Chain A
Amino acid sequence: NAGVTQTPKFQVLKTGQSMTLQCAQDMNHEYMSWYRQDPGMGLRLIHYSVGAGITDQGEVPNGYNVSRSTTEDFPLRLLSAAPSQTSVYFCASSYRVTDGYTFGSGTRLTVV
């Protein structure tokens, strides 16, 4: 049982490049979310999913896309990276809405 696995752990992108941050969980959790964490701003919700095939926007969705084709995977796509997207990205999952999240270890992304 690996929990929530995020890859890569570190990434440097050039402005305008695209990439996908991977997130996988093996706990059969229906609920999954992506957050970004910036200094002094806590965690801000980007997108979330309440089950395979169902996604919705969070507080800061612009510049990001998600899909949920399976229960296990919830990738986050950066369409055209911008320096403002430099951040630490966390994927999280839970079995029920009223369960606390299990977080991945994060992806540190730098856009230059």
Chain B
Amino acid sequence: GESVGLHLPTLSVQEGDNSIINCAYSNSASDYFIWYKQESGKGPQFIIDIRSNMDKRQGQRVTVLLNKTVKHLSLQIAATQPGDSAVYFCAENLVASGTYKYIFGTGTRLKVLA
């Protein structure tokens, strides 16, 4: 699974600090967005989603912010833990069109330093 992570931007964060992972999405018409976490050798795992009629959504230790003006998503992880080390992807879709074509970003590797 490590070969998947080659050439990815990397964010290194001290354990206990907050992490902010950014994503620029491609389609200004996209109306639904998801963040996924992928650990080494595993498939991506759903973290949190947000619709375009919202600009913020909170989950357990995670917050997603959406800025439609500049087509930007961010994922904030509070009190980052070693288990948060993974590659994080954003995905977008235009659900209102009835399509099922989720487009993924290239990903960011999060490294949590002890």
Q: Nearest-CB distance from B16 to chain A (Å)?
A: 28
A102 to B89, CA, bound (A): 14
Residue in A closest to B35 when the chains form the complex, CB atoms: A100
Residue in A closest to B46 when the chains form the complex, CB atoms: A100
Instruction: Identify the stretch in B2-10, B62-70, B77-85 within 8 Å (CB) of chain A at 4 or more residues.
Output: B2-10
Complex contacts, A43 vs chain B, CB 8 Å: 44, 89, 104
A35 to B100, CA, bound (A): 13
Taking the complex as formed, is B42 at the interface, i.e. its CB lies under 8 A from any CB of chain A?
A: yes
User: Are A106 and B43 in contact (CB-based, < 8 A)?
Assistant: yes
User: Are B6 and A40 in contact (CB-based, < 8 A)?
Assistant: yes
Task: Name A45's contact: one of B3, B44, B103 (CB within 8 Å).
Answer: B103
User: Are B95 and A42 in contact (CB-based, < 8 A)?
Assistant: no
User: Are A103 and B43 in contact (CB-based, < 8 A)?
Assistant: yes
Taking the complex as formed, is A101 at the interface, i.e. its CB lies under 8 A from any CB of chain B?
A: yes
Task: Name A103's contact: one of B7, B44, B51 (CB within 8 Å).
Answer: B44
Q: Nearest-CB distance from B108 to chain A (Å)?
A: 10
User: Are B49 and A100 in contact (CB-based, < 8 A)?
Assistant: yes
User: Are A88 and B4 in contact (CB-based, < 8 A)?
Assistant: yes
B interface footprint on A77-108 (CB within 8 Å = 1, 0 otherwise): 00000000000101010000110111111100
Residue in A closest to B105 when the chains form the complex, CB atoms: A42
User: Are B46 and A101 in contact (CB-based, < 8 A)?
Assistant: yes
Known: A40-B8, A45-B103, A88-B4. A97 touches B95 (CB 8 A): yes
User: Are B36 and A90 in contact (CB-based, < 8 A)?
Assistant: no
A interface footprint on B35-77 (CB within 8 Å = 1, 0 otherwise): 0100001111110010100000000000000000000000000
A contact residues vs B (CB 8 Å cutoff): 4, 31, 33, 35, 37-45, 48, 50, 56, 58-59, 88, 90, 92, 97-98, 100-106
B contact residues vs A (CB 8 Å cutoff): 1, 3-8, 32, 34, 36, 41-46, 49, 51, 89, 93, 95, 98, 100-107
